[in-house]
Structure 1
Amino acid sequence: MSSALPAVLFASCCLFTLLLIRSYLPLRSTPGYVLAPVFLAILVPCSIVLLVPIDLASTSESKGVSIGIVLTETARLIGWRIGYWLCFVLTWAILPILQSFSDSGYQSTRARLIDSLRENARYQAIVLGTGFVFLIYVISTAGVSFRSLYALVIALAYCYALAVAIYLMGHGLVALPRHFFQDASVARKLRGLQTQAVGTYDSLMDATAKLLEVQDEVRMLQERKHNVAPDFRGWIDELGDIVALPESHLSPRERTMLSQGIHSTNTASAPPQIITEEYLANLTRRLKAIINKRTRYQSAWGSLLQDASDCQHILDSIPTRSLPRFPRVAAAGSKPVSFVPEKFTLLTPFTRHLLHVYVMPQLRRTIATILALASIAVIWSEIVSSFAPKLSLLSLSISWGSGGLFQQAITASWIAYMVISSLLSLSSVRLWNGYVLIPRKTSGGSACFYASYAARLTVPLSYNFLTLLPPEETKWKKTVFHSFLGRLVNLTPLGQGFSTFFPIFILVPVSAALFGWYDRVKECCGFSDYFNWGDEEQDGEEGVNAKNWLWREGRELIDRELGQGVNSSTGFLSARRPTGAGGGLSSGGAAATRVRLESGIAGGDDDEGFLGGMFHRVRNTLDTALPGAGNNGTRPRWMGPDGSNSTGGTPEQRPSWFSMFTGVVGESS
């Protein structure tokens, strides 16, 4: 087959990588010395989706059957050499230096470079010290030669990267299908957002309070600017400019919350009597890190508000069967990219309602089912590959193909799923609290950090995928990849055993993500305030009570926040909000959806039956039409009055009249 198709596919891979970077990095303001290495570091792991199937097909014998896209042995060897050594240099030299260079607080380029080299020298010293121990082992098993030293470097880098890849892939194989399953139910998604709201908002307030502390320190430093050395005055002016940037400004609500003493900001430390270059560098670095951290929580909070607003509008459209365009929440920032343009003529309010209430939930469930089956196949193959490779489901699915492009497409699909699961886990599992990916606002240091770990996934994912295939059927041991890297990995018994049996440990991250072990590990080790593993599940009565409390607090917080930026006529605010507390009554649709949410009915996803639907409509009519429903008037005592009733008890403990028919105890309004 002509070489034009591989060139087109590689160009498509480059375009995908560029779009992926664009979604997180501002291309115009990011320096070229950061953008180019980050692009290459992400391109290489994405390219294995093409290179591994081509290498396998080019090694196999055709036997009169079209074997799809093939390349010469020289071309494949050049590709693997470029990919490996590019990853090696980027992850162990270029990206760590650029990461420290971007985070450095020094002003001049020379001082920042020296600070970066000094910081990386400590890291490299630790790595070399560890490598010396393994060097003794390699010399005792493989002898003293350049090949043994060469193999030591490759084996150590491979073992470390394989451990990272197995953990990230295992977490992603569970988190990715679960994400689609949870988003399939709009009511469940909204409740999850409301449960997360309190923690996200508190983190935003804490970051804002710390930012104010550093800003006060900078202002005190500016007042003493004329008493410092002349060389530092321009530096202090630059700090003042950073403080005046839009991303460091506070919203009126943040100032109100902080002024009420919810988060103390009176702990700003005064500058020292003698201003040194080290102090200014440390202050600059702290200021940049705190601004980046606050931007992270601002983005998370705005995204949460936008998603909650969209979910509530979808639920509110169920009684009316009409869903207008989603209003943009001011706190969410720029409008996210949508695959379905809002101005598309077919998306009328009715068709938009059908799309989001019926089509999208079923589509998400279908995708989640497919991804769950794919995850089971990958996990099973990782377990049995060491002792029964013929039982590998990946091998059976690839050998089922009749050869040619179809078989290569199946191979590429499996590798792509493994790469996507690993990359998504890398961006969502926040074991490293100092770095985070922020849509269109990621800092250079964070971009270099994540790109370096993405590049490390290239070799372990490629070799791990090949080990899932029986060598006598696929002949993967004759591939250029194995002759170039696989033999060096298996040069010592340690490397061979590690690559053969370590993938079984994928059960550890899979079980942790599936059964919610992360919270227990954090509590036992005392790391709950420092680490965040992404998806978290709490078990037991205490976990349920905590979630219920967070849900109520988060629901009120979201209602209050969106009530200031969204017109009350949209029906977002719940029916329990009285007139005069924000302007106007909410619609009957909001009351209906609040009942659905509290009763666990997923907004049209589940059939509530004839009696349940009739009592829903009766209660909605009474809540919105009778005198005293939703205003300051009095309600009949038999309906569950506004503050107390004859049965006594608190509003949370009293069952409403509606619960007598449905068996659901709703929260009293």
Structure 2
Amino acid sequence: MVWAFVALASCYLAAFVGSLIFLLYHINLWKYPVYYSAPLILAVYLPASVTILLPLDYVSHNAGPISGLHISDKTILLMWKGTYWTTFLLTWVFLPILQEFYRVGNYLKLEKLKASLKRNAKFQAITLLCSVACAIYLILEAGFTFRNLKSMIIALSHIYALVLALWLMAHGMVVIPKNKWLEGNFLQELNHNYLRVPKLVDVLEDTKSDFREDVLQVLILKENFTDPVTSGDFQYRDWILDLEAQIPEDLKDTVRRQYVYSEANTISREQVTNAFMTKLTHNFQTHFYKLLAHSSDYDIVLNRIVKLQKLIDARCAQDWTQRLQNIETSFLPAKMSYYYQCFAAPILARVQSILVFLLSVIIIESEFFHSTELSLINVIAYKLGIFKHNLTQAICLLLFFMYMIFCSVNSLARLKVFNMYHLVRRNSDPVSACFYGSYIARMTVPLSYNFVALFTSRKSIFEEWYGQSIHLAGLFNLMNNWIPRLLLVPVILTTFDLYDKIKNRIGLKSGMYGWADFDDADVESNTNDQNLVHNKRREVVIAEAKRLVAMELNRRESKTAISQRPARSGVYAQSKQPSGQNPGLFSASVDSLLSQNYPLEAGSDASPALWGRVSEAYRTLKSTVNSKLERTTPHENVALHYRDQDDAEDHLIV
């Protein structure tokens, strides 16, 4: 018994560590209070723990107890109930309240909590109204009792989350093998990333423009109403200063330089009310979160483009000196690292693509023939002999179930939900983290029951307890049996890129209907048609993307050079590098991006004529930047307003 407890505790500890690593990869939890971080960690940890509990429960009741991991049925039932109802409270109560708490623009915490509770009360009221029809059906079908009411709540939550989880899982099971296969060809992946650049740049510039307007208002408020001498004890002074402290320094300086006084920019004291400040704070936070997310996405694509370009250069180089200059350092010896990054890694990516494709085929087939002898997962579990080894069977089922959850979560992270929520590396905002955390927790239990339904035998504690609610009424039972078979619909739509074609046919191509698109939808829509016109358009888009990338890399290189110039005091200014960026990575890659002499693969979309036009544009840009750097005075057509001479010297353009 002691060893079983130690083994189980080790498994759950590993799940907790994995959940914590996943969250820290996407958001800096340590800067948030414990009342935010604790529910978020729990929302990700509980689904991870289910991946251990489900195979343990199922294998123990179908193939016998697992050696060293035997747990009583009563303990398993308590674990299932505790996991489900904790997840239910997190996804329907605590995380939505926290999400609105960090979304609203109120300043005081008590006011933020009141506003959050008010918004959630409205949402819950709408949900209850939608449940009235189901309650009427329940009364007619099974009778109205407290137990049936509780079962109805479980069933409704199950059906809603199951539809969402299976749709996302179907998309992931097609896209993940496709993306892995793409990683096996450097040139194709490079063009794939180039096709994303123009859209990312447009979105990023629009976000910057919106955020600059908010920054300008905050700076005007700060200049006019935070000086104790001229403004007195202004009640919104601390609020304004807190907003001003959140503005990035480079953006703050840019807005100050470009600011020109006009009547339209003035804000009177009478305008500054609680409603005005609340709305300003909400807009400021929303645009700031979007700016962080889109900047992070853009940096990731830029880094990947530069890395792929270096790998292509290394493969085409003739001598080892040039090859090793383009290879990232690793724990492997230099030449071995070259062979691994340039040749072994693409082959491994293709092998991984084939393996996950086979997993996808097995799961999709099993979903269509679930609860029958034709289910491939059922065949693997009971016909291949692994059922004779309980631990091996549990590990096999664990891998299948983890892949199902991974596909759903991967697609969820790529889903554009009204362009409000963004899960990005290290820079996710608290509102988006709450949203994605709640849906990760919400989808896990329905996927667990769906996984058990893939087998001919469903014998388990989970089925005995949770299945009673699902089979409460005939309609719920019918939906639970047929929804998995409809998995083929999103699989076909994703495989053949039919989403855009259908939207075009029914007139839903405008931007307002893009909330259900995925991040890769914009790229795929550029490659749908086989016509020559669209192929030429694709070449033009790639050429434009190369120009934009070259401009961005050159801008960062110039910014680094300026920051490293001697300051007026004779001390070198510290280099301000973008977060997560290597300065040498960008500075050494601008020329290689624009002047390539390596042979292209067959079917390549890059052409020498396009490279020539891009190289000419780069040389023009370079001469323009150099001429501007030689100037020591501001532009004459920009009106700069400073409080005094010292302030003007601090913002002198070098």
What is the TM-score normalised by the length of structure 2? 0.80
Partners of 1:165 and 1:422 within 8 A in 2: yes
CA spacing shift, 1:270–1:406, aligned 2, 3 Å? farther
CA spacing shift, 1:572–1:466, aligned 2, 3 Å? same
Alignment match, 2:149: 149
Cα distance in 2 between the residues matched to 1:321 and 1:468: 55
What letter is aligned with 1:342? Answer: T
**Mapped pair 1:276 → 2:263:** no
Partners of 1:217 and 1:268 within 8 A in 2: no
Cα distance in 1 between the residues matched to 2:480 and 2:264: 52
What letter is aligned with 1:128? Answer: L
CA deviation profile, 1:449-485 (whole Å, cap 9, x unmatched): 11000001121110000111002xxxx2x31111211
What letter is aligned with 1:462? Answer: S
CA spacing shift, 1:567–1:507, aligned 2, 3 Å? closer
SS at match of 1:573: helix
SS at match of 1:534: coil
**Mapped pair 1:231 → 2:212:** no
What letter is aligned with 1:19? Answer: I
- Out of 505, 517, 530, the position equivalent to 2:498 is 517
Cα distance in 2 between the residues matched to 1:631 and 1:22: 42
SS at match of 1:281: helix
The CA deviation at 1:380 is 1.0
Cα distance in 1 between the residues matched to 2:66 and 2:241: 68
The CA deviation at 1:105 is 1.1
SS at match of 1:591: coil
- Out of 309, 313, 323, the position equivalent to 1:312 is 309
The CA deviation at 1:192 is 1.1
**Mapped pair 1:573 → 2:577:** no
Partners of 1:513 and 1:535 within 8 A in 2: no
CA spacing shift, 1:519–1:249, aligned 2, 3 Å? farther
SS at match of 2:27: coil
Count, aligned residues: 562
CA deviation profile, 1:197-237 (whole Å, cap 9, x unmatched): 11111211111111111112223333442669832222122
Alignment match, 1:242: 246
Cα distance in 2 between the residues matched to 1:354 and 1:22: 32
Cα distance in 2 between the residues matched to 1:48 and 1:598: 47
Partners of 1:55 and 1:70 within 8 A in 2: no
Pairwise mapping of residues 100-111 of structure 1 onto structure 2 (< 5 A)?
100-111=100-111
Alignment match, 2:354: 369
Cα distance in 2 between the residues matched to 1:255 and 1:439: 30
CA spacing shift, 1:269–1:161, aligned 2, 3 Å? farther
The CA deviation at 1:631 is 11
**Mapped pair 1:395 → 2:378:** yes
CA spacing shift, 1:431–1:597, aligned 2, 3 Å? farther
Q: Percent identity?
A: 27
The CA deviation at 1:600 is 2.2
Cα distance in 2 between the residues matched to 1:600 and 1:86: 53
What letter is aligned with 1:357? Answer: C
The CA deviation at 1:547 is 2.3
What letter is aligned with 2:136? Answer: I
Cα distance in 2 between the residues matched to 1:528 and 1:485: 41
Cα distance in 2 between the residues matched to 1:249 and 1:424: 35
SS at match of 1:390: coil
Partners of 1:522 and 1:528 within 8 A in 2: no
Cα distance in 1 between the residues matched to 2:467 and 2:206: 49
The CA deviation at 1:543 is 4.3
Partners of 1:58 and 1:67 within 8 A in 2: no
Cα distance in 2 between the residues matched to 1:228 and 1:193: 54
SS at match of 1:172: helix
Q: Which runs of 5+ in 1 are unaligned?
A: 260-264, 328-340, 578-585, 603-615, 624-629, 633-669
CA spacing shift, 1:268–1:547, aligned 2, 3 Å? farther
What letter is aligned with 1:320? Answer: Q
Pairwise mapping of residues 529-544 of structure 1 onto structure 2 (< 5 A)?
530-531=514-515, 532-536=517-521, 537-538=524-525, 539-540=528-529, 541=531, 543-544=534-535
The CA deviation at 1:398 is 1.3
CA spacing shift, 1:83–1:115, aligned 2, 3 Å? same
Alignment match, 1:429: 415
Pairwise mapping of residues 120-131 of structure 1 onto structure 2 (< 5 A)?
120-131=120-131
The CA deviation at 1:100 is 0.3
SS at match of 2:540: helix
Cα distance in 2 between the residues matched to 1:488 and 1:85: 14
Partners of 1:174 and 1:510 within 8 A in 2: yes
- Out of 340, 343, 348, the position equivalent to 1:355 is 340
Cα distance in 1 between the residues matched to 2:329 and 2:491: 38
CA spacing shift, 1:567–1:142, aligned 2, 3 Å? closer
CA spacing shift, 1:303–1:422, aligned 2, 3 Å? same
Alignment match, 2:439: 453
Cα distance in 2 between the residues matched to 1:367 and 1:301: 26
- Out of 28, 31, 39, the position equivalent to 1:29 is 31
Partners of 2:105 and 2:282 within 8 A in 1: yes
What letter is aligned with 1:205? Answer: E
CA spacing shift, 1:16–1:211, aligned 2, 3 Å? same
Partners of 2:500 and 2:509 within 8 A in 1: no
Cα distance in 1 between the residues matched to 2:103 and 2:263: 24
Pairwise mapping of residues 177-576 of structure 1 onto structure 2 (< 5 A)?
177-225=177-225, 230-243=234-247, 245-246=248-249, 248-249=251-252, 271=267, 273-318=270-315, 319-320=317-318, 322=320, 323-324=323-324, 342-344=329-331, 346-348=332-334, 350-385=335-370, 389-399=372-382, 400=384, 401=386, 402-471=388-457, 476=458, 478-523=459-504, 524-528=507-511, 530-531=514-515, 532-536=517-521, 537-538=524-525, 539-540=528-529, 541=531, 543-564=534-555, 565=557, 570=588, 572-573=590-591
Partners of 2:365 and 2:375 within 8 A in 1: yes
Alignment match, 1:96: 96
Alignment match, 1:647: none
The CA deviation at 1:567 is 8.1
CA spacing shift, 1:505–1:223, aligned 2, 3 Å? same
SS at match of 1:140: helix
Partners of 1:34 and 1:98 within 8 A in 2: yes
What is the TM-score normalised by the length of structure 1? 0.78
Partners of 2:554 and 2:587 within 8 A in 1: no
